[in-house]
Amino acid sequence: MSIVSFSIPRSLLEKVDNYIKEQGFANRSEVLRQAIRAYISEGKRLSELNGKTTAIITVIYQKGAKTGQIADVQHRYGNIVLTFLHTHIEEGYCIEIIVAKGDAQIMKAFIATLKINKQISEVKVTLL
């Protein structure tokens, strides 16, 4: 098995360690392997999308992030964004739940644009 080294913020590492204890994983490697498998699986489902599709996209970012950038992305893809809900959650974070419907290629581009935005901590996609 290959060994890979990477850097993550201490706060995220603490969350990983807490998750390991709560879920009973043997070590960090096990939980990270599972997370990577899930991420690749989600990417595969997205890459196979075609035709018209509907998705619920959950976006989490820190309060105080440049929300204009996030709003700009939503406006740029306004032809597929049906509605969104914004609220504040614990630890100084915001969550946006976006309902989008449209061409799969445009949907994939929208999701990719959200995922590469450094202001966004997490993007989850539920395909309907």
Domain assignment of residue 109, yes or no: yes
Q: In terms of domains, do 59 and 92 share one? A: yes
Which of the 8 DSSP states describes residue 65? Answer: S
Chain segment 29-81, per-residue pLDDT in tens: 999 999 999 889 888 888 899 999 999 999 999 887 776 788 899 999 999 99
Domain assignment of residue 4, yes or no: no
Chain segment 31-42, per-residue pLDDT in tens: 999 999 988 988
Which of the 8 DSSP states describes residue 91? Answer: G
Q: In terms of domains, do 28 and 85 share one? A: no
Residue identified by tokens 């440049």 is 66
Longest dimension (CA), the chain: 46
Per the structure, the complete domain to which residue 75 belongs is given by 52-127
C-beta separation of 121 from 68 below 8 A: no
C-beta separation of 89 from 63 below 8 A: no
Q: In terms of domains, do 88 and 122 share one? A: yes
